[in-house]
Structure 1
């Protein structure tokens, strides 16, 4: 943070240094120059380059008039703000030469100030202060107090930011502030106080810094430079949450100077880390690194000296072209390396994704095979159960049923012959009738023959009619289904009805069968005591097995107050 603490001073140099240029009323291109100043105020720098180049083409090279000065100056200031320092230096020195050629002290002072700002950005304090001092001397001779304040402010900035001489800088600022307060120069009073507050922070005098910022607020001059200084104070006081809040407020605004923007990002990252918010710290650091890499590399003092030589020898254009070509070559090489690295990473990602997909498909296939194996086993079990039920039904009906019938006929014949034993024989015949009825009922329940002959609806209706507590309802179009489907749906219905009668203690059971063209729905609803939290019995487990085998869905709604409703739905 210390490395970037002086950035605020450099930013304020632009605020006071890059002021609009006034024009004399010479005939020529006053409208074009006024338009450039309007574009500069609106920060439309690309448009400034177009207008300036158009004006310079119209002005002959040997005519170094005020119009040439304004074109070079406006373009140079715009290039300086956007970080294109080599091109900015060329245009600003051309502006100085134009001002000297027409012997205009006002324009000469402004040209020296703009060149001083350029050297300031190159971290060359001596050259910057030298040009600022020339600007101050010209303003003093003319009695221009506002320009004197600007020059003193910029000299103080260079002294504090580059030379690290805070005491010497305060001397410049105090002199400038006294002049600004005397003439009521609002912009100078505001900006110098913010700068002095930043210096006081650097010296550890936080109380004096807060006093200066309060004075700034009192003159209604609060902006994000003051926010930055106040955030630095909060950081010194370890009030990290307040500092981060101010940094976020600054970043949410439109900050045109990239060095100041980077300083805010760097400080926000460091303070978030101190505050224990490592996620935010990393986010700010990534933004800082990306924006810093995108900035133009600061030109060294050697390049500025070459610009001066090129200005004097009028050969700078060729050097600029060479530098631009070298930059483009480096840029293309860098982009090529990045592209190759990105391509390599993409290939690695796709390879890993392909491996993962193959693994997932293999796992799904294994799971599918296991499910199919379980279904085959369940189907075999249920088929065996149905076959065994059918065999037992036939044996009861054809074997035991026939024997019982023959016994009844013999007893009936014997009764006719033995009239004296009539009462006893009547009792025996009655028992035989009941045995035959029960045997038929058991055979029917095991595997009703009518199911194969007539289908699900009539057999289920007949089963429900066997109990006064069960009501049966049928909706839809009656049609025959696959044999396995009819048997399993019948067994599911029987099991659910028996469970309701035996375990739920239901007094009323409603059975509803709905058949559509491509679906079937069975609902068994009772008014019993509900299933509660008890575990499922063997009956319901068998029902679930049959449903899973059919590929149907089961929905159970149960409660102590409303009984149980079980719905089976099947696409068929």
Structure 2
């Protein structure tokens, strides 16, 4: 993990910046090779259609890797197909690989809880298969999911198991990597001491290995951590060493970034000569590589240097140049720029720009950290009051322009008061909105209870009618059939009468069969006895060209939810058969720990979803899903079939 930042007081991680650069590069490649991508996927699909065994599994992996970066829905479909193939092949390692792909997909979408669930399933499959290396990789993945959900202790426990394994294997590279990851978790917990301890342990091992990027990252992480603790001498030593590592690796971008961090530590150490030298070298590298962000970082380091030496005009000139290169979408970065320019404008007596930059600073600060706004206002007021007093004294002695300083002071105080009043008004508005939301929530709860009561009544009535039809009318028809045979006994019938009698008995049998079918559709007995999976299997087998797939946990659900899911699938299938003239229908049910998702896909006529939003059937399905915090997603194109996905929260 890379945990150091671009610039002081900046919460944008270095790794995030690298990811952005890589993402831009990927976008350019995608734009340039669209034709190649299409042929690439066609080639993989062709391999999947004809290949067997490991070749087919690897083709699924390659297709998933492509779709993961380009098309989430296709990636999800591919990995479930890979899961089906792996289970049919009865290969635990392949099943584990499919689960690991699912975890990776959900982690990329920011759904760390779901990713952790699938990584855990992959871990169990690999462990049962006896693949220790793959098992340790999944423990690392589970640790990442825990860290992203702030389960730091659990994340550390997972990494400790990984560390024990690689220690036993005497794999120094992996040991150092795991120690560095543990240090990163301690850093996120705010424990600088533990962070530094684990980074030093990792670094001690990395010194015994060939020089690589991980050594440089450990060095610069220690530089940043020690700088935040104001241990500038140690910080500068580690930063200087990191610079040399990346120079040796011929990596100009990382070299420039480390020069800026080491230069900042040098300023704190009062080593102004090295600070200036590093800032200029970083600026030179940024010009050679054309990296505007690195150039802005080097310029800001120069501004800090000039400001420390009292050359405020030169510092402001450099700060303005850095500001022109800033990433305006990065709020933390812009806050730092506005703060620096406000301070420098005050120092040189530029009241107009001081007010402009200060206003922009306060506005952006309020947007980025509203919960800490009051404390920040107090800190800024003290800071700028002190600076204004120094300006007043300086101007009284040198320029005798006390009236302008008074105007600037009054304006800043007035802005602070106005901003506080605006904040108070915003808080009052938020309280009103919360009250309105509470009322809407209560109304929604009342509507949900009423809807649930109606559905409970409908379910009970369906169950009663099914029992009455099966036990009452069904029994009567059976008695009629028996009595007919009793009447026939001992009676000699003509040939024509025998045919009529047999026809009556046949019609009676068909009526009894139809009666059982109607009773079963109203409330299948298998649903209450054996659960949703068995009931849906029975239902889908009764209809030609209808396939059913079930994935996930097979635990029984709440009876209301089971009935609701069964009725929803029943209605969607009937719609596909009745209105879409579908030749093939696929029903899929995915049951996870906290949700159930059903999907009904047909190859029928399709329709325009926007023109069907007022349909009674679809509104009924949306209403049912809403009772369980569910959602309905419809994808349909006229002439190309329909796919309806309904998600229920458990």
TM-score range for the pair, normalised by the shorter chain length: 0.3 to 0.5
Larger radius of gyration between Structure 1 and Structure 2? 1
Which structure would you say has the larger RCO, counting Cα contacts within 8 Å and 6 or more residues apart?
1
